Structure 1
Amino acid sequence: MAKTLFDKVWDSHVVKSLEGGQDVLYIDRHLIHEVTSPQAFAELEKRGLPLFRKDQMVATPDHNVPTKDQHLPIQEALSRQQVDKLIENCEKHNVELYGLGHPFQGIVHVIGPELGITQPGRTMVCGDSHTSTHGAFGAIAFGIGTSQVAQVMATQCLLQSKPKTMRIIIDGELKKGVLAKDIILYIISKLTAAGGTGYFIEYAGSAIRSLSMEARMTICNMSIEMGARGGMIAPDQITYDYIKGREFAPQGEKFEEAVAYWETLKTDEGATFDQEYVFPAQDIEAMITYGTNPGMGIKLNGNIPGLIEASNKESFSKSLKYMGFEPGESLLGKPIDYVFIGSCTNSRIEDLRIVADYVRGKKKALNVNAMIVPGSKQVEKQAKAEGIDKVLEEAGFELREPGCSACLGMNEDKVPAGAYCVSTSNRNFEGRQGPGARTLLASPLVAAVTAIEGKIVDINEYLN
């Protein structure tokens, strides 16, 4: 029987199928951070349960950490408490922790792939919705709640209902200046922020196969923003080349054996999906969001939809009021106060290189506060080795230390109320980057151009 990539990985991890349709699913790797793990550790201690397989856990602080002076004590009380609790729990239970100052510390969804922990065919979970990032390697990866974090700690398994499957095919050659972020924002704008609800999505087609691993991670990362359980891309030579030689990747003969298995992880010809969409790559252009969910996106040179086009007029009007925009308006020429380049969506070395390549020899606009936050200590180290830090500094950008930073208002890096921020992060909800902050999601290239020009422009006019 022909199987999808998702079916192959899921079925190979089912410990037991129960009456009523749920499966006991074995979990290969469990990533934890400081926000959703304290309650889970407390639950285990309350019930007198040990960690079942601590060697399959990795911890790092990322959400709450400051991105300046990480060698000093954390000033914000709640952030300090949560990070200290993670350290205490990991020491008590002997869990591998990459804490502040460790060369492997960083955003949990950045360090997993760059360390070779993320591999094709694995099941991976974390108490964080953007765990879907790891699906770029042909893994089943999804976010879980705190009670489920405790469940995995105690049993290395989860009770799950098998999601439906969807395939999204992007065929053809992408236009100049169109990045992975534009692809996923385009898809979500077409399917809406609820269009993937109940599905695990496989991305396929020649345009997807042409992408780097960093770009594939960006796409899978934002699968959750259309309501999907997760996203996947079949592994190929680009995947194997990325993994080879990394810290926790198989070595020597074991790597060749692993590749032989990974080669089987592709959707069989004739396999069926519950839903399928096809989009031509040529239709995709540089994108930006205008509202308060990631589905409210338009082409940079497009116009905000009119009120008559909105399916929920009340919600649409509320969103535009919060953002200070009008139906039918163009965003071109709109002054911007902040540019944030970072988050588990776009903080990898490739993203920083894209920004550096554009801003080299230029200066940011005086009205823009431009902040770049690498996704990990390894990304930061690489950026300095390549001289990217100097390029950014000369252009007036501030390169911070690793963390989730201004993706979410859970640390010191917040956008002030009423200010507009072009952000490479994944969510533009009300108050996501700070109370009253107004977020416009875009690619690292769009963010870089915006920082230099001080306003939203059609990047096509600037790329040559």
Structure 2
Amino acid sequence: MTGKTLYDKIWDAHLVDETPDGDALLFIDLHLIHEVTTPQAFAGLKSAGRKVRRPDLTLAVADHNTPTENQAAGIDGVTDPEAKNQLATLSRNVKEYGIEFFPMGDIRNGIVHVVGPEQGRTQPGLTIVCGDSHTSTHGAFGALAHGIGTSEVEHVLATQTLRARKMKNLAVRVNGELQEGVTAKDIALHLIGLIGTAGGTGCVMEFMGDVIRGLDMEGRMTLCNLSIEGGARAGLVAPDEVTFEYMKGRPAAPKGGAWEMALSHWKTLFSDDDAQWDHVIEINAADIPPTVTWGTSPEQALPLSASIPAPEDFDDPVKKEAAARAIRYMGLTSGEPISGLKIDRVFIGSCTNSRLADLRAAAKEVEGKRVANGVRAMVVPGSGLVRAAAEEEGLDEIFTAAGFEWREPGCSMCLGMNPDTLEPGERCASTSNRNFEGRQGRDGRTHLVSPRIAARAALSGTLGGE
């Protein structure tokens, strides 16, 4: 009998039914919800007279629209009418349906993809969905996690199941030794630069190899977070001792005898040696440099030491046109070095890089130094608990002494849905996950980087500065 991949094992364990043509119904173990993709879903439930099937398997946070200042004022402190309405609607709906909710101002609140793991709600072997594409983050625990649309949010609320089709299996093996200063963010951007934003289409991507095993949970979450930007449906890392150590003592993690039972199951969650892969990508860790995006797609990524390409460097006519448009939008010149590009803003945060390890890495770079004149830099912790832990270590004092703004938790400048946005034409070194046109604000220019590179950019006022 042929062995199974980790994805195969989780799929088979959650399959409720499957039709001959491949349409399947999966049981969902955890449904994460937030204020942006739930109003229509709850409205649909009400109009059909349905209840939430499993409130106990649902967790709500407010994150996308929340301001990152003065959260003690609650919803009354939100000035944007649409954001205020969405936040108020979520608050009403979770109360009506008996769903656990961490509202703005609660120390447990924060970005949904930071909160789930932090609370121990994210566990190996689970199926996890959320109306947000970066739900793939939770795959770092060996969970099958991915984003869903608003109509699917309603379906999961009503049935605790999801209609799905089986994906293909893609292995990404990273072995060898990383260069000094290269992080999980660089690995992810390097991979996307190699395969493109459609490289993982139709696949679940499992990260494997010595380098992946050497990453902490924060690094693994960064990798899985960005798997969606490589076109994959989800990202996975098989759980191991690093995973189990992270989970011990989390509020919702199994306790006592239940922990031992869970652990014995979690240790079976790996891809068998004779598992069949549809695609395999092998990467030598030594080939991964500090990496930055130069354009308006995550695949437009190059070594920090490279120069801006010319459209004619691309053979594919679609990529050629995309490069020309990106160069125009980003205000760049073909042939100019990436290192040395002047930046106006720095954002350290988002569900990609807002955890304690990310903040420590940035603080190490800026301690005892000052943000360059003319640069506005902000640090936005991923949750109230991350913020409190960082303050206990004195990281907030390091950042503020250096001239950074120390904010309250939320999605913040990752996307233009709250007050933290770029002004037209501003160039930002950002630790977030998307650099599309207007993603951080109308006509804003975004370069995706690691926390380390972002911190250095804040100090020098340029990409690649020391």
Mapping of residues 8-87 of structure 1, within 5 Å: 8-72=9-73, 73=76, 74-87=78-91
Alignment match, 1:308 = 312
Matches within 5 A, 1:149-164: 149-164=153-168
Q: Could you tell me how far apart the structure 2 residues matched to 1:16 and 1:75 are?
A: 46
The equivalent position to 1:242 in structure 2, one of 232, 243, 246, is 246
The residue aligned with 1:456 is 463
User: Is 1:89 aligned with 2:93?
Assistant: yes
Per-residue CA distance 1:187-216 (angstroms, 9 max, x = gap): 000001111111110000000110000000
Alpha-carbon contact 2:311-2:321 (below 8 Å) kept:
no
Correspondence for 1:282: 286
Asked if residue 417 in structure 1 is aligned to residue 424 in structure 2, the reply is yes
Say which of 318, 321, 326 aligns to 1:319.
326
Say whether residues 1:213 and 2:214 are aligned partners: no
Report the Cα offset of residue 243 of structure 1.
0.4
Once the two structures are superposed, residues 71-96 of structure 1 have per-residue CA deviations (whole angstroms, 9 ceiling, x without a partner) of 12211111111000000001111111
For 1:150-202, what per-residue CA distance to the aligned partner results, in whole angstroms no more than 9, with x for missing partners?
00001000110011110000001111110100000000000011111111100
| Regions of 4+ moved over 3 Å | none
Q: SS of the residue aligned with 2:71?
A: coil
Conservation of the 8 A alpha-carbon contact between 2:310 and 2:323: no
Question: Which consecutive unaligned segments of at least 5 residues does structure 2 have?
Answer: none
Task: Find the aligned partners of 1:358 and 1:421 in 2 and give their Cα distance.
Answer: 18
Give the deviation of 1:281 after TM superposition: 0.2
Alignment of 1:199 with 2:203, yes or no, is yes
Shift of 1:307: 1.9
Tell me the residue number matched to 1:186: 190
User: Identity of aligned pairs, percent?
Assistant: 49
One-letter amino acid of the counterpart of residue 212, structure 1: D
> What's the counterpart of residue 7 of structure 2?
6
Structure 2 CA distance for aligned equivalents of residues 153 and 19 of structure 1: 26
Instruction: Output the CA distance in 2 between the equivalents of 1:279 and 1:306.
Output: 26
Tell me the CA shift for residue 426 of structure 1.
0.1
Letter of the structure 2 residue corresponding to residue 393 of structure 1: T
Output the CA distance in 2 between the equivalents of 1:236 and 1:185. Answer: 24
- The Cα offsets for residues 79-131 of structure 1, whole Å up to 9 and x where unpaired, read as 11100000000111111110011121000000000110000000000000000
RMSD of aligned residue pairs (Cα, Å): 0.8
User: 2:390: which partner in 1?
Assistant: 383
User: Within 1, Cα distance between the matches of 2:6 and 2:136?
Assistant: 15
TM-score w.r.t. length of structure 1: 0.98
Q: Once the two structures are superposed, what CA deviation does each residue of 1:294-332 show, in whole Å capped at 9, x if it has no partner?
A: 000010001223322222222210111000112333112
Q: How does 1:371-450 map to 2 (within 5 A)?
A: 371-450=378-457
State the one-letter code of the partner of 1:216. Answer: R
Whole-angstrom CA distance in 2 between matches of 1:41 and 1:26: 20
Structure 1 residue ranges without an equivalent (≥5) = none
User: Which of 358, 367, 372 is matched with 1:360 structurally?
Assistant: 367
Q: Does 1:171 align with 2:172?
A: no
Tell me how far 1:284 sits from its aligned partner. Answer: 0.5
Q: What corresponds to 1:255 in structure 2?
A: 259
Secondary structure of 2:170 counterpart: strand
